[in-house]
Amino acid sequence: MPTEYYDVLIAGGSIAGLATARECSSNGTSTIVIEEDHEIGTPEHCGGMVSLGGLQKLGVLPDSNNFQNAISYARIFSKSTSFELNAEKQNVIVVDRRGLDKQIANQAEKAGAEIRAKCSFKSFSKNQDRYIVKTSEGEIECKYFVDAKGLSSLRDATKDGILASAQFEIYATWIEGQTVEIFFDSEKYPGFFVWIIPSGEGKGKIGVAGKGINTSLALNEFIKSRGKKYSIIRKIFAPIWIGGPRPSFIADRTLVVGDAAGQTKPTTAGGIFSCGMAGILAGKAISKAIEKNDDQLLHEYEKNWKSMFQKEFNSMLFARKVLERLDNKSIDEIFSSLSRKTIKDVSNFSDFDFHSSALDLFLKTKIATNLTKILIGNELRRIFSS
Ligand SMILES: Cc1cc2nc3c(=O)[nH]c(=O)nc-3n(C[C@H](O)[C@H](O)[C@H](O)COP(=O)(O)OP(=O)(O)OC[C@H]3O[C@@H](n4cnc5c(N)ncnc54)[C@H](O)[C@@H]3O)c2cc1C
């Protein structure tokens, strides 16, 4: 049997890989996506929180099968205090990731891409101007290879920046209808937090991540601490990436997109928007390189992604470094120093897809004056407790 040939082979059929496939195939490029799992979108490793604006830019609006809830508020807790943001202006929604991924798969398929589930990437080698890709279903040749394998690729590159996470889907009376809740506790969840994302009809996705913690134990303890009846209908355990983007996304005619390139927000590990955009930009660059017969144009992908996100990710990496050092007393003090005006400004003017806008607003206010004092106190406590 002759070896199959496609211009573009994409390993990984999730948001980044499927967006790349849709973009390539809608420009007439022959494209195949291979996905090792038996079903696109499954198992789902995601809370599904995303902005409508972000989804619009990704060229996909959730249909009635995927839409789960709209978020109106975010309540953020430290150990002894809390504050609430009005999130209505951010147009944040909760989607069923399984359905969303299938919707993009459907768009890509309609545009001409072929999608092959239960087909794993094994290895690849180069033969003149083609790659020979070994898969669980035999060899496929291609001119361009896209690595969209998620964290399995990043883990090979570096372990720094990976946190274990757990997320349970539960029914509970204490899940707020349209309020996302975030709980910081630097002792229980160092460097991260517990989240509750309401997905409608009394259901929610409740998760935790943190450096060096047993996520299952931490999440069970948190859920029990709510003290009321609940039912767990699904449990997932998956790593998240908070280490920022890889220095380079392109080598030869191989492009790395999504989690595989470290393109998730270092503050929350959210990646639907930034990873999906990477897919679109990579697909555009490949199409242009083919059209103009100039592989230098592949670099437009990296240039365009970085001009959209790099500054934002640098700010978030900085915020993460600070968060990782803060003890509970400092987090309490920072939350207590937020004025009503600051909270209102952040509610009105920040952008869900670019968190540094909220950070900038916080830093322009009274908190900036207090912050130095709080951080000095924090560092002194670290010195005396070590
Ligand atoms: C618990 C949790 C909650 C999250 N919540 C949110 C949220 O609310 N909002 C948000 O924006 N982001 C969230 N994220 C992050 C988001 O899910 C990811 O950033 C996003 O899915 C990355 O997409 P991707 O296509 O790069 O990679 P992935 O979604 O990881 O997909 C990689 C794909 O490659 C496939 N694959 C792997 N190896 C092979 C191989 N050898 N051959 C073929 N296929 C292979 C996998 O099966 C998988 O389908 C969350 C992540 C976690 C873990």
Of the residues 295, 315, 335, which one is the last residue of a structural domain? 315
> Among 79-88, 124-133, 144-153, 336-345, where is mean pLDDT lowest?
336-345
- What separation in Å is there between the alpha carbon of 259 and the centre of ligand 1? 7
Residue 104 lies in a domain: yes
106 & 12 share domain: yes
Cα–Cα distance measured from residue 108 to residue 16, given in angstroms and rounded to the nearest whole number: 12
CA-based nearest residue to 261, from 281, 280, 241: 241
Residue 58 lies in a domain: no
* pLDDT interval class at 386 (50, 70, 90): low
| pLDDT value at 361 more than 90 | no
Cα–Cα distance measured from residue 136 to residue 143, given in angstroms and rounded to the nearest whole number: 19
From the number of C-beta atoms within 10 Å of its C-beta (0-12, 13-18, 19+), residue 133 rates as buried
From the number of C-beta atoms within 10 Å of its C-beta (0-12, 13-18, 19+), residue 110 rates as exposed
Q: pLDDT of 182-238, one tens digit each?
A: 999 999 999 999 999 999 989 999 999 999 999 999 999 999 998 778 999 999 999
- What separation in Å is there between the alpha carbon of 10 and the centre of ligand 1? 14
Q: pLDDT of 263-283, one tens digit each?
A: 999 999 999 999 999 999 999
> Among 209-213, 311-315, 337-341, where is mean pLDDT lowest?
337-341
153 & 166 share domain: no
Q: pLDDT of 53-67, one tens digit each?
A: 999 999 998 888 899
Residue 67 lies in a domain: no
* pLDDT interval class at 158 (50, 70, 90): low
**Percentage of the chain exceeding pLDDT 70:** 95
Q: What is the pTM of this model?
A: 0.94
The 3-state secondary structure of 288-319, one letter per residue: HHHHHCCHHHHHHHHHHHHHHHHHHHHHHHHH
- What separation in Å is there between the alpha carbon of 294 and the centre of ligand 1? 31
- What separation in Å is there between the alpha carbon of 45 and the centre of ligand 1? 6
Say which DSSP state 197 is in.
E
Mean pLDDT of the chain: 92
Q: Assign residue 295 the CATH number of its domain.
A: 3.50.50.60
168 & 294 share domain: no
Mean pLDDT of 304-314: 95
Asked whether 277 lines ligand 1 (CB < 6 A), one says no
SS3 100: helix
Structural domain that includes position 14: 4-48+97-158+246-315
Query: C-alpha distances in angstroms, 321 versus 16, 260, 266, 267, 338?
Result: 27, 22, 10, 10, 20
Higher pLDDT, 382 or 58: 58
266 & 172 share domain: no
**Atom of ligand 1 at shortest range from CA of 260:** 26
Structure tokens at 237: 């355990």
* pLDDT interval class at 2 (50, 70, 90): low
Q: How many domains in the chain?
A: 3
